[in-house]
Structure 1
Amino acid sequence: MGYKILIVEDDQFISDMVSESLTKEGFEVTAAFDGEEALDILNTQKFEVILLDLMLPKIDGMECLRMIRSKSMVPVLIMSAKDEDVDKALGLGLGADDYISKPFSMLEVIARIKATIRRERHYKSSLSLEEKIIKIGDLSVDLHGFSVKKFNEKINLTAKEFNILKLFISNPSQVYTKSQLYKSVWEDEYHGDENVINVHIRRLREKIEDDPSHPMYIKTLWGIGYKLGDF
């Protein structure tokens, strides 16, 4: 397979366990044990996926993610304990692509990584077949450049936020339940974790809407799901 994975985890046992399992699956694995070391590695190497623990020495996971996102849109999967809901929401808001709760099974980790890589490859390869720029309301969405502008000012979206927006503008009349939205964007089975979707929708609205409390681009149909606003 040969895809490069960076594991940023200060627990030696967990790091070794994940590294060994991923190596057996054919991934090329690099390990960092604190945020500072991870950022140093990222200055010289590129990876397909980053597994990032939140509780790290020197530079914590939140700051590490923020610094990664200032330079790169590489998929980042957060790893953290189940009861850290606040950290989970903040991590996703800063641009994490997915969340893996500790303790986790390696089958789950491997499945998430493969789904992330498959999703990114499929999405990028499909862009050449589509219209490059879609204009809706005050937004200009560049499908090839993965960028969005509002009033000609660039809006910095995470990969997941961009994919959610693209899904809606590509299917303007369709209503998506949370299950359908998760399956379309995450390309994985939905297990009822509404927080993941709620955080992404809220963060996206904060970036593209004039008034996030009264959204015009992504409308909520209460008890049903979401759809693109009428333009």
Structure 2
Amino acid sequence: MSKNILIVDDDKEIVNLIDISVKNEGFTTYLASNGKEALQLMNSYTIHLIILDIMMPEMDGLEFCQKVRLESSIPILMLSAKVEDWDKITGLMTGADDYMTKPFNALELIVRVKALIRRTYYLNQQVYEKKEIIRLGSLEINKSKYIASFNNVKMKLTSKEFEILFLLASHKGQIFSSEDIFQMIWKEKYYETNNTVMVHISNLREKLEKTMGYKCIHTVWGVGYKIEG
């Protein structure tokens, strides 16, 4: 089944470039020039992935991302003309799953889009086949439905946060380093200066503790992270 991609950017040339690139790969596209238009499209169509610019009029990408995360774990690839690390961290903390700096290579964009689609909708249905549902006390993590809930209350996690939670919960008590998590979830080479895992763990831990009322993910200083039920 073709996946629907929502492209949100006020730069028409960028939108046209992305639109043509993803359509050539068989995806269906919907276009918006700001966050307000994008929310309207999301209310009308089923969207499987969002390519989102940060700097836009009326409603910027960060505000839009926050609103999406209130209701959905749909994968979000964020774009920005800024190159500072803080902008990337802010984007990831807001709920983005991946981040690219403009100008970008169209081929790399497609590779990242396909990777997000594969991990969210295909790969995640195959990994840990014998562990589709994990229960740690009142915490239930359903891999087939891509839902994590506590006392039957669904938690609003990004796709990467869900994957990290499922990975740690699948190996209760086992310590995973940042490098382990990055390579298993992002499937890319890890660099020591990469703080992506730290940001996602921080966001995930905050959401879990807010919902559950106690600490679930523990840091083993100098080693990595583990989950305890």
Is the shorter-chain TM-score for this pair beyond 0.5, marking a shared fold? yes
Matches within 5 A, 1:63-212: 63-126=63-126, 129-131=129-131, 133-136=133-136, 139-150=139-150, 153-192=153-192, 194-209=194-209
Equivalent-residue separation in structure 1 for 2:58 and 2:89 (angstroms)? 22
Contact 2:82 2:102 in 1 (8 A): yes
Q: Does 1:228 align with 2:227?
A: yes
Q: Does 1:20 align with 2:20?
A: yes
AA of the residue aligned to 1:9: D
Q: Give the corresponding residue for 1:11.
A: 11
Number of equivalent positions = 226
Q: Give the corresponding residue for 1:219.
A: 218
What is the TM-score normalised by the length of structure 2?
Answer: 0.84
AA of the residue aligned to 2:187: E
Equivalent-residue separation in structure 1 for 2:30 and 2:138 (angstroms)? 43
AA of the residue aligned to 1:77: L
Contact 2:49 2:74 in 1 (8 A): yes
Q: 3-state DSSP class of the match of 1:209?
A: helix
AA of the residue aligned to 1:5: I
Equivalent-residue separation in structure 2 for 1:159 and 1:196 (angstroms)? 14
Equivalent-residue separation in structure 1 for 2:175 and 2:12 (angstroms)? 45
Equivalent-residue separation in structure 2 for 1:72 and 1:180 (angstroms)? 27
Q: Give the corresponding residue for 1:40.
A: 40
Equivalent-residue separation in structure 1 for 2:62 and 2:106 (angstroms)? 23
What is the TM-score normalised by the length of structure 1?
Answer: 0.83
The Cα shift of 1:57 comes to: 1.0
Equivalent-residue separation in structure 2 for 1:217 and 1:113 (angstroms)? 31
Equivalent-residue separation in structure 2 for 1:23 and 1:155 (angstroms)? 33
AA of the residue aligned to 1:227: K
5+ residue gaps, structure 1, are none
The Cα shift of 1:178 comes to: 1.8
5+ residue gaps, structure 2, are none
Contact 1:32 1:38 in 2 (8 A): yes
Contact 2:141 2:148 in 1 (8 A): yes
